[in-house]
Structure 1
Amino acid sequence: MERKGKGKHTQTHTKDINRMKVPVSWKTIGLNYEINNTEHHTKKLSKDQLIVRRGQPFTVKVELTQPFNPDLYPLTITAETGKHPSENLGTKSRFGIPDKISRSPSAKAVWKVELEKRSYPLTGSLNLTITPPADAPIGKYNLTARYRNEETLLATLVVLFNPWCPDDSVSLSDEAQRQEYVLNEHGIIYSGSENYIRSVPWDFGQFEEDMVKICLKILDVNPKHLANAANDVSARCNPIYVSRVVSAMINSNDDYGVVEGRWSGPYSGGNEPTHWSGSYPILKHWYDMNCQSVKYGQCWVFAGVMCSVMRLLGIPCRVITNFQSAHDNNKNLTIDVYHADYGVREKETKDSVWNFHVWLECWMTRTDLAKDGKYDGWQVVDPTPQEKSDGVYCCGPAPVKAILDGETDLKYDVPFVFAEVNADCIDWLCKADGTMTKMLSDTKSVGQNISTKTVGSNTRLDITDKYKYKEGDLPHVSKLGQCSFLDMLHFSVCEHRADVPWQKVKFLSHLSTGHSPRNLTYSSLAFL
């Protein structure tokens, strides 16, 4: 069922105009809500709020009380977002007709306006086409207009990411995928075990009433915003930054996060994680309770809620389930189990393998990693609080391509996600003299049946081959070097070519199922 925001449609922007003393030059302002929101794929969000996507024009109709003569009296418009708008930070832009604005040389995210041909300047009837840049920070904006030294509020609007815009860093070319990963309110989350996969319906509800203000509230109460609001709002132009912020804010471990996790009972004071079947009741409760976390969630709840927020903000997103998912606590890319010899205390470990774990993939460019687009596309982002990343409980975005190729030196959190799908499970015998002997090594069980919903249907799509090469499918390896390894580490280099730093050794051990890095010869190494 299609959900639509409440409120009556009106072409004239009387509500905002009446808040101010309207200058005599301005008669009426029409924001063309229905037309604009339909063209920007936001119609289901609201009928009486202007919600647009960056990099795409929207129209505003202005009736002046006198003829429009831009040569004598230019029209100047200012777009501002956040409490500390700045041209240099991209949170303030001045533009106009004619566009002879004196801007800062380092001004970012400059908007533009054009006068449509169907305007009638002599009668003061103007049809304006306004375009926020494709790199504008997302969020709530005020547009003010100045004409003949008289200023009025032109519009209050929300700007979102735009997968339909080729210049946006979340651009997604396939319309069927845009419909699925941005606009679809209903999905499936997979759970169970590798041999018994269950389909759990989930209602994302990203077009429910109040979802815009709920999601913007999540951004506004994040610790980075509270510490430095100006820089935080400026950084909202970047889906990498936004995804890390939202990943941290969905769990409640270090902030005013949405969901509190609990992995065993009792679940007093809240609901069991299996109680939830959709995101909106959770997000609405969090918002109504003044940002108090909702009890309780586990991985599929965290992922489902974050998927709703990301789709609302305009970042294409899908839910992923990894069966036999490793949790590598000590970052050595193995899951270690210690067994005590007679008379020896057993060594504790926090490593574990979960029967399944759920995370997200978000679609974006990664020009911070490579200019050739190698790491663009799907990125793993995980809101479940497992380990800290840069001191915060968040994870990603980690390029799926980097995980596949074992490029564990790349941002963000690639080693952790790599271990979730590739870690070896090793049993160790702890001896009385302090030494350890490897008893068993399982190189195949972790990372099975990695699954997501198929575009346009409710069938399961297996994407394991996007994370792990099939056995025998080794890519071409060149510029070989000769190395030896410390037995306990996956990538500790004792000897290497003198002209190549050890940090630049790329390990391709996982490319063939069952191959452990410690057992590799030099032929499985490539120097960058």
Structure 2
Amino acid sequence: FSVPVLDIQRCDLNIENNNRSHHTELNGVERLIVRRGQTFTIILYLKPDSPEFRIGRTKLTLIAETGPSPRRQSDTKVSFSVGDSTVDTEWSASAITDPSGNTVSVCINSSPDSPIGLYSLTLTQGKQETNLGQFVLLFNAWCSNDAVYMRNEKKRQEYVLAQTGQVYRGTHKRIRGKPWNFAQFEPGILDICLKILDENPKFLSNADKDCSERKNPVYVTRVLSAMINSNDDNGVLVGNWGEISDDGVRPTKWIGSEDILRQWAESGPVRYGQCWVFAAVACTVSRALGIPCRVVTNFGSAHDVDANLLIEMVYNTDGERISHGDSIWNFHVWVESWMTRPDLGIKYDGWQISDPTPQETSNGVFCCGPASLTATKEGELTTVYDTPFVFAEVNADVVTKLQLSTGKILTVRESTSSVGRSISTKAQTIHCTFLDAQKRKGRCTRRPSTTTSYSREGKNLDSTSKYFTSTNPLSSVSKLKMHNDKKHYHVNLSLSLQLMGRARVNKPVTAELRIKNTLPEPLKNCSFTVGGIGLTKGKSILVRYVLSVHVLSAKLLNVHFFVLIWQCNITIRVNMQLTISFINIITFFVQRWRCECKRRSQRQCCVETHHRWLHSAAGEF
């Protein structure tokens, strides 16, 4: 007997329902975005004269393909028949028809070990092929068979779905959090993240092998570590730790990843970044692709150039450093990603350290990791990747040496506690709601702090030069003096923000920001930047102004926002064609506000704050 061929009128990818069940609804409903190892359903609409679908008699085969040259041998092309049930561990499909016989619902399960990326889906019936559409496949932290599986739902919410967070900087005695908009679900960001994978040199040299390896989060994480910096390739960020010219943005000015990624997609490597910017952008891309990721700061971070696990500081008798290889940074920021390590063994599963800041090369490329956090803690330095370098960052010994005029070198100090003084990352659930924010430890203070430099006959000595004592060969050096030509004050601002009028989705709204100058000096060249998820069409708002000298004077500024989405206990994206009304919460982020004034005494007054404002408003869609 002949096999009936269905006459398909159209295919509904059931985007809204599928995206919701796969935790990708924040990406929107413009296309299908699913996570591997989890079923999704598409609906085939049959023409009125089409043969009826019958299980066991109607032969349907689906083909899923990814990459420029899909091949079965590379797992970038797979074909599977539509049966009566699906299998959790491989590509499979089942189908049922509605009582009228007009539609066929096809349930598809992807393999939890599939390469991630953009896929095309084709239905074949004998020699007849029907293009059903495209979908994006991501890693799945909700699937127990996926290498990035996380058991804890709160951790999944934080390390995959949270679009805002904190990046910590400063010193181990003065840790300061900087709010950051990761914005991994903003329109177009996922496409940019996939473009980053397609721009990496491994893809350009062997696209088939690279696309096949995208099944492995270890491989993808290592690629991202190289591609977030631009040292070897057309990567995202250009690093700069010196003078910043007018051809780029100061690293301290960035408040989120979105502007950086969009600028890279339009015009190539973005100027400039430093460690926390590299790490935050890497976190955005990892979360967008489905890899659980967090930003981690190491205070007192060693840079061991020669991989001997020692940071050697050598000075001459004038207190000048004469070795310029090893160094210790006040802080350094990297990322940790969650995944299994089948290449190392189950013991090393869990958090993996990778560092996109270009410090040293690894296999000839400026990248670092992923190195198992467990291996790093236990000193298992033979494990891949780059574990000795990461271990030195947090656990190297510091040796301070003095070179005499005769050439003889004396060891004057050894320290095992100068490196890895504190390691910080944002705790779970500290975002979105006011009640959760109240649970954060700490208190608001208004306390000036003073930094002091030391000099000897006009030559500055850094903090490592404190070994000059009466018991060493430099006892004659006694003219150490303190000078305070500059003082830095950090105080909290008095800020208030009020929503003016009624906020409506997809409509402009104005907020009034009231700022008080708490210093007895006029503050010039002031600016503040406002950004937020779904508030400003992906562009931060920058306002410049001057605050007068009066202590109690206030500055009223009208800031115009464009509300794209609402943020409540969870973030949702709505269909703009619906009309409903309810009470919700809009979140405004005042990311960075900095003022400078130069007094006659050459003192510098800095006012710096990071705030998040939560305001209730009636919402109408």
**Is 1:357 the equivalent of 2:332?**
yes
Matched to 2:366, the amino acid is Y
2:79 to 94, 101, 107: 94
Paired residues of 1:90 and 1:110 also in contact (CA < 8 A): no
Equivalents in 2 of 1:340, 1:184: separation in Å? Answer: 50
Aligned to 1:380: 353
Aligned to 1:59: 41
1:405 to 372, 378, 381: 378
Matched to 1:87, the amino acid is R
2:91 to 111, 114, 118: 111
Aligned to 1:79: 64
Mapping for residues 185-224 of structure 1, pairs under 5 Å: 185-224=163-202
Matched to 1:355, the amino acid is N
Aligned residue-pair number: 425
With structure 1 as the length reference, what TM-score do the two structures score?
A: 0.77
Relative distance call for 1:409 and 1:35 in structure 2 (3 A) is: same
Equivalents in 1 of 2:328, 2:52: separation in Å? Answer: 72
Aligned to 1:233: 211
Matched to 2:361, the amino acid is K
Shift of 1:368: 0.5
- Determine which structure has more spread, i.e. the larger CA radius of gyration: 2
Aligned to 1:416: 389
**Is 1:302 the equivalent of 2:278?**
yes
Equivalents in 1 of 2:140, 2:293: separation in Å? Answer: 13
Mapping for residues 242-257 of structure 1, pairs under 5 Å: 242-257=220-235
Aligned to 2:104: 126
Aligned to 2:402: 429
Aligned to 1:325: 301
**Is 1:445 the equivalent of 2:445?**
no
**For 1:354, what is the secondary structure of its paired residue?**
strand
Matched to 1:411, the amino acid is V
Give CA-to-partner distance per residue, 1:471-514, whole Å, 9 cap, x none: xxxxxxxxxxxxxxxxxxxxxxxxxxxxxxxxxxxxxxxxxxxx
Relative distance call for 1:114 and 1:73 in structure 2 (3 A) is: closer
Give CA-to-partner distance per residue, 1:157-178, whole Å, 9 cap, x none: 0000000000000000100000
Give CA-to-partner distance per residue, 1:131-187, whole Å, 9 cap, x none: 110000000000100125321111200000000000000000100000000000000
Per mean C-alpha deviation after superposition, the further-off stretch among 391-400 and 421-430 is 421-430
Matched to 1:52, the amino acid is V
Relative distance call for 1:179 and 1:144 in structure 2 (3 A) is: same
Give CA-to-partner distance per residue, 1:412-455, whole Å, 9 cap, x none: 11111111111111022346787643221111111012001110
1:393 to 358, 366, 384: 366
Aligned to 1:366: 341
Paired residues of 2:393 and 2:420 also in contact (CA < 8 A): yes
With structure 2 as the length reference, what TM-score do the two structures score?
A: 0.66
Equivalents in 2 of 1:126, 1:346: separation in Å? Answer: 75
**Is 1:139 the equivalent of 2:117?**
yes
Relative distance call for 1:272 and 1:341 in structure 2 (3 A) is: closer
Aligned to 2:509: none
**Is 1:35 the equivalent of 2:17?**
yes
1:456 to 419, 424, 429: 429
Aligned to 1:520: none
Matched to 2:308, the amino acid is N
Equivalents in 2 of 1:350, 1:316: separation in Å? Answer: 34
Relative distance call for 1:349 and 1:460 in structure 2 (3 A) is: farther
Equivalents in 1 of 2:235, 2:441: separation in Å? Answer: 31
Aligned to 1:334: 310
Relative distance call for 1:346 and 1:179 in structure 2 (3 A) is: closer
Shift of 1:198: 0.7
Equivalents in 2 of 1:29, 1:377: separation in Å? Answer: 40
**For 1:374, what is the secondary structure of its paired residue?**
helix
Shift of 1:87: 1.2
**For 2:348, what is the secondary structure of its paired residue?**
coil
Give CA-to-partner distance per residue, 1:294-350, whole Å, 9 cap, x none: 1101001001111000000000000101101111011011110123479xx975331
* Cα RMSD (Å): 2.3
**For 1:44, what is the secondary structure of its paired residue?**
helix
Paired residues of 1:163 and 1:315 also in contact (CA < 8 A): yes
Equivalents in 2 of 1:259, 1:239: separation in Å? Answer: 22
Matched to 2:162, the amino acid is N
Equivalents in 1 of 2:164, 2:238: separation in Å? Answer: 23
Bigger share in strand: 2
Equivalents in 2 of 1:95, 1:378: separation in Å? Answer: 34
- Percent identity, aligned pairs only, is 48
Shift of 1:88: 1.5
